[in-house]
Chain A
Amino acid sequence: AQSVSQHNHHVILSEAASLELGCNYSYGGTVNLFWYVQYPGQHLQLLLKYFSGDPLVKGIKGFEAEFIKSKFSFNLRKPSVQWSDTAEYFCAVNEGDDKIIFGKGTRLHILP
C-alpha cells in the first residue's frame, strides 16, 4: 500500500535554530515529491517540489529538501527558523498516477 511517513508530529524550536523534518515514502518506482505548508487558518501552499535532476531542491522562504532515493526519504531543512515559520508542514508523494498521498503532517511551533 502507498504510504508517506512523517516522523515528527509536533516540533518546538527557538528562533534561529536549525530545522529538519523527516519524510519517508514506500513506493519503489519513480516519484514526484512535494512539501506543502499550512499557516494557521490558511490553505496549503507549495514550499518546494522534486521531479528529477538535482536531488537538493530549494524552495521559498529559505527552505530546502534533499531526495535520497536509497533511503526513500525527502527531508525538509531550514538553517535558521523564524517565528513566522510556525505552521503545519505536509510531505506528499505522487507515485506515477493522477493523485498525491499526503503524510499526516508536522506541527512546527517556533518560540520567539
Chain B
Amino acid sequence: NAGVTQTPKFRVLKTGQSMTLLCAQDMNHEYMYWYRQDPGMGLRLIHYSVGEGTTAKGEVPDGYNVSRLKKQNFLLGLESAAPSQTSVYFCASTRLRSGATYNEQFFGPGTRLTVL
C-alpha cells in the first residue's frame, strides 16, 4: 500500500496563478484533510471531508477550495495564489470514527509551495 500520496512535491507559482494539489489514499478511509504548516504555527486545518461529495471548512479556509469527487482523492485548489500562501501543505486521512474513538490520521509527504 502506498498510503497517502501527494502531487506535486514542489511548486513555485507567481502571484495570481492558480493550481491544484492532489491527495490520494489507498486505505479506503472516509475522512480526508488538508493542512498547511508554517514555522511556529503548527498544522492548521484548511478544509476537510467526511465522505465522498462532502467538504467542510477548517480553521484557515480563505483563498482555498476543495473537492472530493472520489472517495480516494481530495483536491485542494488555489484560484489566485498569494505570497501568504507560501507554505508546506499536508494531506491526511483516517478511518470512520467508531463511537467515542477518533482514529489516528495518516499523513502524506507534503507539498512545498512557494508563491512569488
Which positions in A face B, CB cutoff 8 Å?
A: 9, 30, 32, 34, 42-46, 49, 51-52, 90, 94, 96, 98-105
Contact = CB atoms under 8 A, between A and B. Distances in A.
Contact of A43 (B31, B45, B101, B110): B110
14 contacts: A43-B109, A44-B92, A90-B42, A90-B43, A96-B100, A96-B102, A98-B48, A98-B50, A98-B97, A99-B33, A100-B102, A102-B44, A104-B40, A105-B42
Contact of A30 (B40, B43, B100): B100
Contacts of B107: 43-45
Interface of B: 31, 33, 35, 40-45, 48, 50, 58, 90, 92, 97, 100-102, 104-105, 107-110
Given A99-B45, A102-B43, A104-B41, A44 B90 contact: yes
B105 A100 contact: yes
B91 to A, nearest CB: 9
